Amino acid sequence: MSEDKILPEKESSHDIPTSAGENQPVQPDVKESKQESVKSISESQPLPNESFEPIPLQKLETEKMEIHHHGHVHEKKKWKEYLFQFLMLFLAVFCGFLAEYQLEHIIENSREKQFMQSMVEDLHKDIVTLERHFKFAKRQQAGLDSLNNMLNEGRLEKVDVREMYILQKKHIRFAVMRLVNRTELQLKNSGGMRLIRNKTVADAIIKYWGEGEKTYTTIKNLENNRDKAWDMSHLLFHNKYYKNTESLENVELIGDPELISKDPVLLSTFSNRVDLMMDMIRMWYKHQLVELEEDAKNLIQLIIKEYDLERG
């Protein structure tokens, strides 16, 4: 086949009809098609006073990539902002500490005043107890003195022996005294003494407790000597002559009582026990009761003055 021979071309679907009704082949142009699309859009929506220029596709993609930045990138704070935040945090913590300290201070003041009010109530009860035991000790001393004189003088007539039976029954005994220790236990066991910030009051309370302990020691010694005298009295006085009574203040006897033994040695030993018991009451016990009562009264006045309490 000759190279000069021209083969007929196939009809293309892109042929555009001419005015003469004939088809002319047109090659598709991509750039022209895009430009015509952009032109048609700009003509359909014209922008006032602006001339439309098509934006290259590469520039659009570049701008699109630039707006997708990382979300965790923050602007660095200045040191003044950090300092301000630190000061605000410190101020909040410090104010909280002050509020808590003030609340604790108020609670401790309230507890201190409650303890002092309770202490005053206990002291009033102690004064009543001390006065009652002082009266008993005074009567006991007088009775033991009479009994001791009769034994030392050897008065063993029926009327004297009868009187001995009554005196030994009424006075060779001891009424155990106990002060109110309600507030004392609370202050000692719960560490409440640290709440008593008034040093004068705290010292006076400790002194009062100390005097009370001394009195308890004297009472214990009196009880020991009383027990010995009581044991010896069983060798001299027979219980068959006593009428059963509920009160020892009014001792009643049956018949004409007699001593079990009139042994001078036994009577002298019993007299010595009675005399020792009497001396302990006269020289120590009564004085301690008086001093303790005076301390209680002074302590009440001091607490009322220092804590502005109502007088009971």
**Sites in the chain below the pLDDT cut of 70:** 1-77, 97, 100-109, 311-312
Residues 253, 241: Cα–Cα separation, whole Å: 5
> Tell me: the pLDDT tens digits for 196-240?
889 999 999 999 999 999 999 999 999 999 999 999 999 999 999
Tell me the whole-structure pTM to 2 decimals: 0.66
At 107 the pLDDT is: 60
Q: Are 62 and 50 in contact (CB under 8 A)?
A: no
At 192 the pLDDT is: 77
Q: In Å, how far are 57, 151, 169, 268 from 263, measured between CA atoms?
A: 143, 11, 20, 9
At 197 the pLDDT is: 87
At 101 the pLDDT is: 62
Residues 88, 111: Cα–Cα separation, whole Å: 35
At 164 the pLDDT is: 96
Domain borders along the chain are 115-307
